[in-house]
Structure 1
Amino acid sequence: MTDASVTVPAANPAALGLVAFGLTTVLLSLINAGVLPAGGEPVVLPLALTFGGLMQIIAGLAEFRVANTFGATAFCSYGAFWWWFALLLLFAGNGVIDISKAGPTVGVALLLWGVLTLYLWIGTFRLSRVLFAIFLTLWVTFLLLGLGSMTGNTSLTHLGGWLGLICGSLAMYGSFGIVTNATFGRTVVPLGERPILG
């Protein structure tokens, strides 16, 4: 009797998760850096809900299927971050919630996202160098944005925006590398596969 089942290798969900994160991050970071006007935030909201949020959660669920604990935790978490961000602005902008007396709470929330990112960054010491760089720049971005929000220091927010641009661009590069290398069946775009700590 022969086994009729065929194992089909799964596509790497990190390609989708990274580009969903990266593209959304670049657009918001352009606003945080002061390159685009703050009035452009409403353009980010649908992107944050659909691409940054939904697509990352789908990628995270796919990472569960391939037993990647790091990828599942990261993509589901940052997908939820984008939903939180979009819903916060939508609810506050439409009078559903009042954050005028929230004080430093939004800044503290950003710092907590930075704590999550810091612990995920430690995990990247055994992953590719591009992931190491993405998570390094991301936790520092959250730190700067959180402190900027808490203190009202726009220079910190702008600096966080510029670092967020680097982070988002690195994520898009990582997605580009995964897609291109998978399509060509060999390494065409280097991702620094040698881990920081072997």
Structure 2
Amino acid sequence: MKEINYVKHEVADPSALGLLGLAIVTLVASANKFGIVSGVSLVVPWAVFLGAFVQLIACLNDIKHGNVFGTTAFGGYAFFWFGMAMSWMIQLGVFGEGMKAAADPKAFAFVFLGYLIFTIYMTIGAIETNKTLLIIFIFIDLLFLGLTLSSLGIAYHATHLLAAIAELSIALFSFYGSAANVLNKTFGREFLPLGKPLGILKK
């Protein structure tokens, strides 16, 4: 009888890295929305490398964990930032004046609306992860609500401010979530609490 050997590959939890990427890119993007940073030229690199590639790496590692929620969340937002970076580059004329002239900013509203719908059902899933992640998703809901409405010119100043505040809040809570994941696993104890899941939806 042929002997079968199984090899187990240990893969680190990618949550800390993914949340770090989210924290950096939303901090930079919120500075742009608050008017502290003008233009998006120097937002693009952080959208590509921290918002997109770092979260994509986290997504691919969550696949190895069999974590559908983490895979979908990190993967979904990674490709959002790839899309935003390319859209900004089109608006900046990187791909030629023809594409720049043909770009209609209202298209963003439908992207943001789609991501609002996506984030709402991910928020429902986050109820059974931890409270820190749930708070982050609630602020992402508010971000996409503000972005959708402001892109359509609906109460622009108020909804743009809502998006800016929500995005800064995402950054702050994501830094905390990243730190908690790193330190809790490094020290083998709850150094920073993430908050237990609400436990209201699971059987």
TM-score (norm 2): 0.88
Cα drift, residue 156 of structure 1? 1.3
Q: Is 1:129–1:196's contact at 8 Å kept on the other side of the alignment?
A: no
Q: CA RMSD in A?
A: 2.1
Unaligned runs of 5+ in 2: none
- Counterpart for residue 128 of structure 1: 130
Q: Is 1:111–1:143's contact at 8 Å kept on the other side of the alignment?
A: yes
Name the amino acid aligned to 2:133: L
Name the amino acid aligned to 1:30: A
- Sort the Cα spacing of 1:131 and 1:93 in 2 relative to 1 into closer, same or farther, 3 A: same
CA distance in structure 2 between the partners assigned to 1:61 and 1:145 by the alignment? 28
More off after superposition, 60-69 vs 98-107:
98-107
- Counterpart for residue 38 of structure 2: 38
Cα drift, residue 55 of structure 1? 0.9
Matched, 1:13 2:14: yes
- Sort the Cα spacing of 1:62 and 1:105 in 2 relative to 1 into closer, same or farther, 3 A: same
Cα drift, residue 23 of structure 1? 1.1
Name the amino acid aligned to 2:115: W
- Sort the Cα spacing of 1:72 and 1:38 in 2 relative to 1 into closer, same or farther, 3 A: same
- Sort the Cα spacing of 1:44 and 1:146 in 2 relative to 1 into closer, same or farther, 3 A: same
Q: Percent identity?
A: 29
Name the amino acid aligned to 1:190: P
Cα drift, residue 168 of structure 1? 1.6
CA distance in structure 2 between the partners assigned to 1:62 and 1:129 by the alignment? 22
- Sort the Cα spacing of 1:190 and 1:146 in 2 relative to 1 into closer, same or farther, 3 A: same
CA distance in structure 1 between the partners assigned to 2:147 and 2:101 by the alignment? 17
More off after superposition, 164-173 vs 64-73:
164-173
- Counterpart for residue 63 of structure 1: 62
CA displacement, residues 2-52 of structure 1 (integer Å, 9 cap, x when unaligned): 998674642111111111011101110121133x1332x211101111111
Alignment of 1:93-172 (within 5 A): 93-94=92-93, 95=97, 97-98=99-100, 102=104, 104-151=106-153, 153-172=156-175
TM-score (norm 1): 0.90
CA displacement, residues 121-159 of structure 1 (integer Å, 9 cap, x when unaligned): 010111100111000110111111110111161331122
CA displacement, residues 40-98 of structure 1 (integer Å, 9 cap, x when unaligned): x2111011111110110111011000000000001011110111001001122113623
CA distance in structure 1 between the partners assigned to 2:183 and 2:174 by the alignment? 14
Cα drift, residue 162 of structure 1? 1.0
CA distance in structure 2 between the partners assigned to 1:149 and 1:50 by the alignment? 25
Alignment: residue pair count: 195
Name the amino acid aligned to 2:166: L
Name the amino acid aligned to 2:149: L
Cα drift, residue 100 of structure 1? 5.5
Unaligned runs of 5+ in 1: none
Name the amino acid aligned to 1:43: L
- Sort the Cα spacing of 1:10 and 1:92 in 2 relative to 1 into closer, same or farther, 3 A: same
CA distance in structure 1 between the partners assigned to 2:23 and 2:113 by the alignment? 20
CA distance in structure 1 between the partners assigned to 2:150 and 2:92 by the alignment? 21
Give the ranges of 4+ consecutive aligned residues of structure 1 lying more than 6 Å apart after TM superposition.
2-6
Cα drift, residue 170 of structure 1? 0.7
